[in-house]
Structure 1
Amino acid sequence: MPVLAGAEPFSHIGSTGVGVLLCHGFTGTPASMRPWGARLTEAGHAVRGPRLPGHGTTWQEMNRTRWQDWYGCVRTEFEALRAECESVFVFGQSMGGTLTLRIAQEFGPAVSGLALVNPSVTSLRRDVKLLPLLSRVVPSIKGVAGDIRKPGVAELSYSRVPVRAAASLAELWRLTRADLAKVTQPLLLAHSTVDHVVEPVNSEIVARGVSSTEITDLPLPDSFHVATLDNDAPLIFERSLEFIAAHTPAAAR
């Protein structure tokens, strides 16, 4: 299946002993994480930005994938960074944040820290409860891409939401919420004041549910959902670099 131009995965070899795994969102592509990856690379860190299975091609292909496929992809990339780097951080946006939390739940102290941007662990939309039924009769619904406040910026994402894949995402939400207490790592939690895709209650659930003793709250007053491409992107990037520096050995800093 041909990959959309701009949706390709990216990776960079670092020199600091620090690796960062960047996880993009549901129906999105690595393009939404590429500017963040570039800034981390400038700082000398190793970076991997995988393209999740079913993403960056067609929504029809994505409907043939499930959360286990997406998680398997980020898990493989995490293991690769572990083999290369002294410290590994995992950063995710939206569903990428869900996958980031799941990695933290499985790998514990092997994860040096997490940065989440508008993470999703639930939805208040009524139709979400109907996804198991809808997935049997409706292949797709209107997309949720492009929630960006900054003029002239577009997100490379599907215009349709594949319903069977969305039903699988809801399963991942339930599992991740149930295990939030297993998350003990330092956490940078960035959340937009206005988000038309993921309700603010998601970040509240994460903050209340994790066992992390260090949570850095980062409000994003000038961005919508895809904040890594929005007005607050430079703030996210710089604060994430500070976060890494604060949680790596002195030699790496």
Structure 2
Amino acid sequence: MIQQTEFFFEGGRSGVLLIHGLTGTPMEMRLLGKGLHKAGFTVHGMQLAGHCGNADDLLATGWRDWYASVETAADDLLGKVDHLFVGGLSMGALLALKLAADRPAQVSGVGVYGATFRYDGWSIPHMARLSFLLPLLKRLGIGRHRSFMEQPPYGIRDERLRAQVSTAMLSGDSAAAGLPGNPWYSLAEMYGLAADVRRRLPQVNAPCLVAHASDDDVASVRNAELVVRGVNAPTELLLLEDSYHMITIDRERRTLIEHSAAFFDRVVTAGNAGRIAA
């Protein structure tokens, strides 16, 4: 059964929509959300369709369903704020970029956190690095009930936090820590999303804060560089030296919060100045 784990913190007239990653949960965005709220933002940590349940719940959905839930959450937040920012972790970063490409008049800026177009980090097993072949296997009907199981260090450099998260994940508490594995077919859907977003990057004209762990165990920095090179917008690259993939909860989360709040504030100030000048 899918559990609802979304959160909403009411603040000022600038709002941030936060999107978790594949097989993840809004809990991985909650600390970032609290920090942004403390900085004055209205924050909605949304839950993607099919997530926070079991593998069958997830397999009943695809990337278009996940994106539709992002659009619904964005529409809801747009009714409450004057400036809409969107930030996502891992696959959530791709969904955030797609929203910016599709809605250039509505998205003021993007927080691109640990963007994952390919799983090519140092902890990914050799077999899993071939997961870009999964869309073909899905079309052939092969491997519907197969999964790539999560591997230590689970995207978390902080050992104490890693132990807490892995215990919750492996105990089956998907609402708190996500699923312990990535179903092949869901990964195939993610690669379909990644291909779509790569084509659409030149249509992103909202300023982007691209934050990535320099020693990311799941997705190498090449993923961040793809965004910096591909978008048609001002970018700021933030490389975090003491974190792994889950930068929203790992050791440098406060640095990420500070940079995100300052970046979004600068975008609002620049936009207001432009309107005054006009």
Normalising by structure 2, report the TM-score. Answer: 0.84
Question: For the Cα contact (< 8 Å) 1:92–1:116, is it kept in 2?
Answer: yes
Query: Which of 184, 197, 204 is 1:183 aligned to?
Result: 204
Contact 1:143 1:158 (8 Å CA) reproduced? no
Deviation at 1:195, TM superposition (A): 1.4
What secondary structure sits across from 1:177 in the alignment? helix
Structure 2 distance, partners of 1:249, 1:80, is 24
Q: Is the 8 A contact 1:112 1:186 kept in 2?
A: yes
* 1:49 aligned residue (21, 45, 48): 45
Is the Cα–Cα contact under 8 Å of residues 215 and 241 in structure 2 kept in the other structure? yes
User: Mean Cα displacement is larger for which, 121-130 or 238-247?
Assistant: 121-130
Q: For 1:2 and 1:204, locate their aligned partners in 2 and report how far apart those are by CA, in whole Å.
A: 35
Aligned residue number for residue 12 of structure 1: 9
Contact 1:63 1:163 in 2 (8 A): no
CA distance in 2, matches of 1:242, 1:150: 25
Whether 1:137 aligns to 2:142 is yes
- Which residue does the alignment assign to 1:204? 225
Equivalent residue number for residue 237 of structure 2? 217
- The counterpart of 2:92, out of the listed 91, 96, 106, is 96
* Aligned twin of 1:247: 267
Deviation, structure 1 residue 184: 0.9
Quick check: 191-200 or 31-40, which moved more?
191-200
Distance in 2 between residues matched to 1:53 and 1:67, nearest whole Å: 9
Corresponding residue SS for 1:112: strand
- 5+ residue gaps, structure 1: none
Residue identity in the other structure for 1:8: T
Superposition deviation, residue 141 in structure 1: 1.8
Cα offset for 1:2? 4.1
Q: Compared with structure 1, are the counterparts of its residues 72 and 134 closer, same or farther at alpha carbon in structure 2 (3 Å cutoff)?
A: closer
Rounded to whole Å, the distance in 2 between the matches of 1:250 and 1:188 is: 15
User: Which residue of structure 1 aligns with residue 78 of structure 2?
Assistant: 82
Q: Aligned partner of 2:10: which letter?
A: I
| Distance in 2, Cα, partners of 1:149 & 1:18 | 32
- Structure 2, unpaired ranges of 5+: 121-128, 166-176, 273-278
Q: Which has the greater radius of gyration?
A: 2
Segment drifting more, 154-163 vs 111-120: 154-163
Q: Higher helix share goes to which structure?
A: 2
* Cα distance in structure 2, aligned partners of 1:31 and 1:50: 10
Contact 2:135 2:192 in 1 (8 A): no
One-letter amino acid of the counterpart of residue 82, structure 1:
L
**Distance of 2:119 and 2:136 partners within structure 1:** 15
Report sequence identity in percent.
32
TM-score (structure 1 length as normaliser): 0.92
1:165 to 2:170 alignment: no
Q: Secondary structure at the match of 2:150?
A: coil
